[in-house]
Amino acid sequence: MGAQWKSKHKEIAANAKGKIFGKLAKEIMVAARGGADPASNSRLRLVVEQAKKASMPKDTLDRAIKKGAGLLDGGAQLERFVYEGFAPHRVPVIVECLSDNVNRTMSSMRVLFRKGQLGAEGSVSWDFDYVGMIEATANSTDADVEVAAIEAGAQDFEPADEDGTVLFITDTTDLDVVCKALPAQGFTVASAKLGYRPKNPVTLSNDTEREEVEAFLEAMDADDDVQNVYVGLAG
C-alpha cells in the first residue's frame, strides 16, 4: 500500500480541497518557525511548493507563513505528536498529528484506536524506516525511473501507481537535493516530505479484513488533528 495511506475517496469528497489546504497550512506554520523566507528555509520551500501545486490561494499561503513565523498576533502554537499502534488484524500504524491541544488529541487517539490497539512509543516504529519521500510523475514515456533514481541520488523507488505517480525514497538529509535533481531527469515533483516506510508490510487474507482496516484508516484520517497516517499493509 506504499509508505503513506491515502483514502480512495479523499479526492472526490466535497470538502477534500479544504481539508488538504488545512493540513498544508499547518505544515507551513510549523516549517515557518525556521524562518519566513522559503529561499533560506528548505523545509518551508518544499511545503510551499506543494501548496502551490494544490492551488492554495496566495493569501491563505502568505497568512500561514506569517502566522507560523510569529509575524501576526496569535501566532501558531502547533506541536507535532506521533502515535503508534495497530489497526485491526495487527496491521502496524504510525499516526502523525499537528495540534495545539495534546489532551484533545490524546483523547481522540484513544477513541480511534479502540478498534485496533494504541501502543507505546517504539511499539511499531522499529518496523518502519524514517526516510524522505518524493512523489513525482514522468514528463514523458521515455523517462526511466531507475536511472532517474540513481542520477538524482535517491536510495530507492516504488514503481508508478495507477495515477502514474512514482515514490522516490531518499535519506532524510538528501530530500531537498533529490527534489532539485529530479526535474533534470524528466520528472515533475508533486510533493516531498519526511515520513515512515514499512519494512515488513502485512498481507491480509481476505477482502473483509482489508475493508475493516480501510474503515479504521478512514476514521483516523478524518480527525482534524491528524496530518499523516503510515501503515504497514501490503497491496
Give residue-wise pLDDT tens across range 60-102: 999 999 999 888 876 558 899 999 999 999 999 999 999 999 9
Residue 4 confidence class, pLDDT cut points 50, 70, 90: low
Q: Do 192 and 211 sit in the same domain of this protein?
A: no
Angstrom distance (rounded) from CA 104 to CA 99: 9
- The answer on pLDDT for 235 being more than 70 is yes
Residue 218, SS3 per DSSP: helix
Question: Which of helix, strand or coil describes residue 121?
Answer: coil
Do both 208 and 120 map to the same domain?
A: yes
Cα gap 83→220, rounded to integer Å = 11
Q: How many domains does the chain have?
A: 3
End-to-end CA distance of the chain: 5
4 domain-assigned: no
Are 191 and 212 members of one domain?
no
Pair (112, 222) in one structural domain: yes
Do 149 and 34 fall into the same domain?
no
pLDDT attached to residue 76: 58
pLDDT at 200: 93
Please check whether residues 122 and 132 belong to one and the same domain.
no
Looking at the fold, whether 142 and 171 belong to one and the same domain comes out as: yes
For residue 73, being part of any structural domain is answered with no
What string of DSSP letters covers 157-215? EE---TTSEEEEEE-GGGHHHHHHHGGGGTEEEEEEEEEEEESSPBPPSSHHHHHHHHH
pLDDT value of position 116: 95
Same structural domain, 217 and 118 = yes
Q: Residue 160 belongs to what domain range?
A: 127-198
CATH number at residue 33: 1.10.10.200
Is residue 48 exposed (0-12), middle (13-18) or buried (19+ Cβ within 10 Å)? Answer: buried
C-alpha cell at position 171: 535519506
Query: Are residues 58 and 36 part of one domain?
Result: yes
Cβ neighbours of residue 107 under 8 Å, at least 6 residues apart? none
What b-and-e string marks burial along 168-204, b requiring 16 or more CB atoms within 10 Å of the CB? Answer: bbbeeebbbbbbebbeebbbebbbbbebbbbeebbeb
What is the percent of the chain where pLDDT is above 70? 92
| pLDDT band at residue 43 under the 50/70/90 scheme | confident
- 45 occurs within a structural domain: yes
The phi and psi torsions of 167 (rounded to 5 degrees) equal -105, 110
pTM of the model: 0.85
Mean pLDDT over each residue of the chain, to the nearest integer: 89
Whether residue 206 is found in the same domain as residue 121: yes
Going by C-beta distance under 8 Å and a sequence separation of 6 or more, which residues neighbour residue 180?
none
